[in-house]
Structure 1
Amino acid sequence: MQARPLEASADPFDEPSRSAGDASSLPVLATLRRLEQEYAEVLETRDLPAGPAVAETDEPIFVTRPFLPPLEEFTPLLARIWQTRVLTNGGPYHRELERRLRDHLGVPQIALFNNATTALIVALRALHLSGEVITTPYSFVATSHALLWSGLTPVFADVDPHTLNLDPAAIEAAITPRTSAILPVHCYGHPCDVEAIEAIARRHGLKVIYDAAHAFGVRHHGRSLLTYGDLSVLSFHATKVFNTFEGGAIVCADGARKDQIDKLKNFGHDGETCVGDVGLNGKMSELNAALGLVQLDHIDAALARRRAIDAAYREGLRGVPGLRCLDDCSEDAANYAYFPVLIEADYPLSRDALNEALKREGIHPRRYFYPLISEFPMYRSLPSARRELLPVAAAAADRVLCLPIYPDLDHAVVSRIIRRIANP
């Protein structure tokens, strides 16, 4: 199946043609042979517990697979939970994980939650928002669902073609008298244009809540990316870089805001007999917090392996006609949460045809994000949801394919994926 080219003048991803003399002329197979050796050496030297590596002939390869620490490191913490019978309500593991995450991430305050969607709903409640909130159509649907649950109206704005994050110019154009906040997403863990968004928010008196579900550990301009905006919301879901089975968190600037958030996630309780706000039950259990404590001991090694896979993909796919790897955003420290590629008009297959071809070989990438949030039934009637208003996001949804990346992904599988894509 051939990809259908867009009109060149209308293509939001048009770029200058590659120079004939650049590194893209390296033979793919020769590059792969060298990468296999380098990648194998990286994996052998990293201090990460050996999980069951997925080799070429084993089970299907999915876009991600949860990292789990050695069970023998987790069981002593479970034994302690059984001994104390403290299961939830801010127990000792919960308090310790908040402290260690605060130090590890370099943030002033962090409040743990049972999942990121609940955390996002509480974040919106904590800022007393009303009316409209400008957000991206290019995200997981939980971003906008949290707005609807909170009685807020999503207003979709288009994204930047290089980062796929909200375009500041589109944000500015979407502001109305009813706008109360901006809800950007650090897509794939790459930073939004936080300085431009801050300037827009300050100019119009708006709050900024970052959906930072992908952004664990990312640093930008000398500080944690999570410290930008009024609040940042993290996900610790099983598929994320750092997981607690299920979980999430809100990063905030001071103790007073954290106290408010802690009350909101505990039904609004302010002491034993007083309920001061309409809260919900968003508390993280001791089981989840205990896993998080063990996971933190391995996070640096897990990120190093992700970085090696990212580098292998980038070098192995360099020069493949019609394929573009999404670049980073010059962050100080990335987390390599995803590996998205754009399948362009001159690639021999359409994005969907390549997706199906890989699946037939037991490799399961993901069209992440497809379709746009704005195309789901509960959103498509909004004036801002019209596809012609979101040309860059629409083009990305039709072209992006996220390739498998997780710490124990075998280098032979990475090479196999590269070979298959380079030779469709």
Structure 2
Amino acid sequence: MTRLTVTQPLLPPLEEFIPYLQRIWDSRILTNGGPLHQELEAALCTYLGVAHLSLFTNATTALMVAVQVLDLDGEVITTPFSFVAGAHALRQRNLEPVFVDVEPCTLNIDPQLIEAAITPRTSAIMAVHCYGNPCAIDAIQAIADRHRLKVLYDAAHAFGVRMQGRSILHAGALSVLSLHATKVFNTFEGGAIIAPDAGTKARIDQLKNFAMKNETTIEEIGLNGKMSEVHAAFGLLQLRYVDDAIARRAAVARRYREALRDVPGIECLPDGAQDAPNHSYFPVRVQSPYPLTRDGLYEMLKSQEILARRYFYPLITDFAAYRDLPSADPCHLPVAVEAAREILCLPIYPALTDDEVSRVIDAVVQPLHRVPHRGEHASPF
């Protein structure tokens, strides 16, 4: 039986990659902002509808540099329902994440709870467009403006997402994309920061190159976050196929929605407010009266070689590095705690065939016909 994973990287024809590699061999430039790196930055600016973009070796490094560029201190309000990279980037800069709960529908940070978490030590809000669904951008910015805070968006899932005809990457002071292999658009490993102006981009580019101002001058602490020419080459090839990839993801998502709409206890999350979703993930809530718990369904699917994922479980606030923070108390995060127990992301990627989609759907529906005890297969966590 073919193993189905929650996602699978888009790999264009290998023969189309060879000419890009030949260009690298001919130039003998492997890194340090070479011609393919510059070409990909320009191409992504055009595709995404942004003016300034800096490529990175990965999104975690990009988040670390973004935090440094914004010169944050003290506390940063953020979400517990996300991948841990954002919180790590804050702690790497000796900042304290302050976790607030999420909205039930979008699972994005709840603006109504942000204001109550602001203290004299708060310097910023770091929000996450969860599953690529836009945060309440206007409400968050209004709060930030009232309290003179900066807003940083972890837009790891949000490649190509548009709202009201405009890229959501314009929101906030900076936005950070992930170009990891699991994402809609990937460069094997990679990340990017979207900057509002040329001066900010120049500072970002300097910091990702050891903060070298020139051959003899370093005035602050930087790191090595440069994307290689091989990764940039793959990105240029990927860009040819990304629209078709998103269209196929949309078709898979439609199949799931139509087939699971009337399944008791399986709730498909809404697409959100965007007018150009990218279908990064397909999350469902597993609730009563579905006969299995979320973990029970997860284990049952795994037994059939369908590797769904519990994004995001555990919560960031459940990890030892964060659970002792006052804001990590589960009592303050009831919506996120419930989501971490209920959300399961089903396989979705361009190479997923119609028959494989049907196989996933059949597997989800199957427990309805045998009605086991709801605790069956449940994780002990």
2 CA distance for matches of 1:233 and 1:309?
27
Note the 1:80-159 alignment, pairs <5 A.
Answer: 80-159=23-102
The number of residues matched between the two structures is: 367
Looking at structure 2, the residues matched to 329 and 233 of structure 1 have their Cα atoms a distance apart, in angstroms, of 20
Cα shift at 1:345: 2.1
Whichever residue aligns with residue 348 of structure 1, its letter is: P
Structure 2 residue 230 is the aligned partner of structure 1 residue 287:
yes
Distance in 2 (alpha carbons) for counterparts of 1:141 and 1:228: 22
Aligned to 1:233: 176
What are the equivalent positions in structure 2 for 1:176-195 lying under 5 Å apart?
176-195=119-138
Structure 1 residues 70-106: Cα deviation after superposition (integer angstroms, max 9, x where no partner): 1111111111111211000100000000000000000
Mapped to 1, the partners of 2:175 and 2:63 lie a distance apart of 9
Matched residue of 1:166: which SS?
coil
Secondary structure at 1:298's aligned position in 2? helix
Q: Give the corresponding residue for 2:212.
A: 269
Q: Distance in 2 between matches of 1:334 and 1:372?
A: 25
Match of 2:286 among 313, 336, 343: 343
CA drift of 1:276 comes to 2.3
Q: Kindly report which structure 2 residues correspond to 1:180-219, keeping only aligned pairs within 5 A, or say none.
A: 180-219=123-162
Q: Take 2:356 and 2:132, find their aligned partners in 1: how far apart are those partners?
A: 24
The structure 1 residue matched to 2:198, chosen from 250, 255, 276, is 255
Residue 330 (structure 1) shift: 2.1
Provide the TM-score with structure 1 as the length reference: 0.86
Secondary structure at the counterpart of residue 65 of structure 1? coil
Q: What letter corresponds to residue 182 of structure 1 in structure 2?
A: I
Determine if the alignment matches structure 1 residue 220 to structure 2 residue 163.
yes
Name the residue aligned to 1:387.
330
**Distance across 1 between alignment mates of 2:349 and 2:219:** 43
* Structure 1: distance between partners of 2:61 and 2:95: 15
Aligned counterparts of 2:99 and 2:281: Cα–Cα separation in 1: 23
Aligned partners of 1:118 and 1:330: how far apart in 2?
Answer: 29
Structure 1 vs Structure 2: percent identity of aligned residues? 61
Q: Distance in 1 between matches of 2:63 and 2:227?
A: 14
Q: 2:320 matched to 1:377?
A: yes
* Residue segments in structure 1 that go unaligned for 5+ positions in a row: 1-56
Aligned residue for 2:102, secondary structure, equals coil
Letter in 2 for 1:405: I
Q: What's the C-alpha RMSD, in Å, of the aligned pairs?
A: 0.7
> Which of 77-86 and 133-142 deviates more?
77-86
- The residue number in structure 1 matching 2:372 is none
3-state SS of 2:214 partner: coil
State whether structure 2 residue 349 is matched by structure 1 residue 414.
no
Distance 1:376 1:196 in 2: 29
SS of the aligned residue for 1:270 comes to strand
* Residue aligning to 1:358: 301
Alpha-carbon distance in 1 for matches of 2:112, 2:104: 13
- Aligned mates of 1:217, 1:392 — CA distance in 2: 28
| 1:36-55 correspondence to structure 2 within 5 Å | none
Distance 1:328 1:177 in 2: 36
Q: With a CA cutoff of 8 Å and minimum separation of 6, indicate the structure with the bigger relative contact order.
A: 1
2:213 aligns to what SS in structure 1? coil
CA deviation after TM superposition for structure 1 residue 423, in Å: 2.6
Deviations 1:313-343 (A, max 9, x none): 0001011001100001120100000000000
- Cα drift, residue 382 of structure 1: 0.3
* Paired residue type of 2:274: E
Q: Counterpart of 1:245? A: 188
For 1:289, the aligned partner's letter is A
Which aligned segments of 4 or more residues in structure 1 are displaced greater than 3 angstroms?
Answer: none
> What TM-score do you get using the length of structure 2 for normalisation?
0.96
**1:35 maps to what in 2?**
none
**Shift of the alpha carbon at 1:298?**
0.4
